[in-house]
């Protein structure tokens, strides 16, 4: 049994995820999760995401592919995924869960411009900015799609909608990883990773009976890093506050 599993893994290394592979040379999940999981070597994390950008991000058609090339003629059977034609759904198209993980990975590396750009690529409204693009996309401009096709003649056409957990992942990627709004053990922290041309933004958060008005100021055109955390005008040295349910209004000012 162990020998059989070992042989299977060796075959998968040969056929998948390698520059020597005929198909599926690079997979975005492995690239992004080397960063998200903190399992990758520090220098290789940057290389992974650069290769992902080079090979899987199609800016012209606003697609972040799951992997490339899609399965079609490979000798080793990868399973049900090959039942989809090359470029449809997971088989070489955009699988939106994985596309959103690229936003999180870029944010964790501090690449604010790229995180924002990828968020804009995924945003459905940007697939329906005019009549021509809307006819190609063919889905609602206000709903995250589960997938977008990359097959010949169908590049940019949306697949499933109203049926995906990608919307919640997208919300989390934007709010927690780009805007940096994080709550851990009832402590509120703001750790942005934004585009350097963003000068300021605001978040208004209601916690039970209390209101937290947060203003982030980026006068030094940074991507990351909080210099000061002010609560009602007083600096908080550890840059986090315990959320209170006392009906009061708290004004937080973040200086990057």
pLDDT in tens, 6-23: 555 555 555 566 777 778
Q: For position 10, what pLDDT does the model report?
A: 53
Range from 7-16, 36-45, 119-128 carrying the lowest mean pLDDT: 7-16
Q: Is the pLDDT of residue 216 over 70?
A: yes
CA atoms within 13 A on the CB side of 167: 11
Q: Is the pLDDT of residue 164 over 90?
A: no
**Sign of the CA dihedral running 135, 140, 144, 145:** negative
Distance of CA 202 to CAs 47, 172, 180, 190, 251, Å? 33, 17, 12, 11, 11
Q: Which of 157, 160, 202 is nearest to 181 (CA)?
A: 202
Question: Which domains are present in the chain?
Answer: 2-176 (1.50.10.10), 182-255 (2.60.420.10)
- DSSP run (H or E) holding 115: helix 112-122
The model's pTM: 0.90
Q: Is the pLDDT of residue 143 over 60?
A: yes
DSSP type of residue 190: E
Evaluate whether 35 touches 41 at the Cβ level (below 8 Å): no
How far is 106 from 74, CA to CA, in rounded Å?
31
Q: Is the pLDDT of residue 91 over 90?
A: yes
Q: For position 74, what pLDDT does the model report?
A: 79
**Sign of the CA dihedral running 252, 225, 58, 33:** negative
| pLDDT above 90 as % of the chain | 80
DSSP assignments along 37-75, one per residue: TS-S-HHHHHHHHHHHHHHHEETTTTEE-SEESPPSS-S
Evaluate whether 32 touches 64 at the Cβ level (below 8 Å): no
Residue 177: which pLDDT band, with cuts at 50, 70 and 90? very high
Q: Is the pLDDT of residue 224 over 80?
A: yes
The pLDDT of 121-144, averaged and rounded, is 95
Determine if the peptide bond prior to 225 is cis (ω within 30°).
no
Q: For position 137, what pLDDT does the model report?
A: 96
Q: Is the pLDDT of residue 81 over 60?
A: yes
């Amino acid at each position: 049994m162990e020998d059989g599993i070992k042989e299977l893994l060796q075959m998968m290394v040969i056929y998948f995820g390698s520059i020597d592979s005929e198909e599926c040379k690079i997979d975005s999940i492995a690239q992004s999760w080397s960063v998200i999981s903190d399992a990758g070597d520090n220098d290789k994390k940057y290389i992974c995401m650069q290769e992902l950008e080079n090979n899987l991000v199609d800016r012209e058609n606003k697609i972040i592919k799951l992997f490339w090339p899609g399965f079609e003629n490979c000798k080793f059977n990868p399973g049900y995924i090959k039942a989809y034609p090359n470029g449809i759904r997971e088989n070489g198209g955009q699988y939106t869960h994985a596309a959103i993980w690229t936003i999180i990975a870029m944010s964790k590396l501090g690449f604010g411009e790229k995180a924002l750009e990828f968020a804009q690529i995924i945003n459905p409204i940007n697939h329906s900015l005019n009549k021509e693009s809307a006819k190609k996309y063919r889905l609602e401009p206000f709903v995250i799609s589960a997938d977008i096709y990359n097959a010949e003649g169908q590049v940019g056409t949306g697949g499933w909608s109203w049926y995906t957990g990608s919307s919640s992942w997208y919300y989390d990627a934007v709010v927690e990883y780009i805007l940096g709004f994080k709550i851990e053990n009832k402590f509120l922290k703001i750790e942005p990773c934004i585009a350097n041309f963003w000068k300021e933004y605001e978040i208004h958060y209601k916690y039970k009976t209390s209101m937290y008005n947060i203003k982030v100021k980026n006068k030094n055109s940074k991507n990351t890093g909080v210099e000061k955390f002010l609560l009602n005008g007083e600096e908080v040295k550890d840059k986090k506050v315990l959320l209170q349910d006392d009906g009061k209004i708290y004004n937080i000012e973040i200086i990057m």
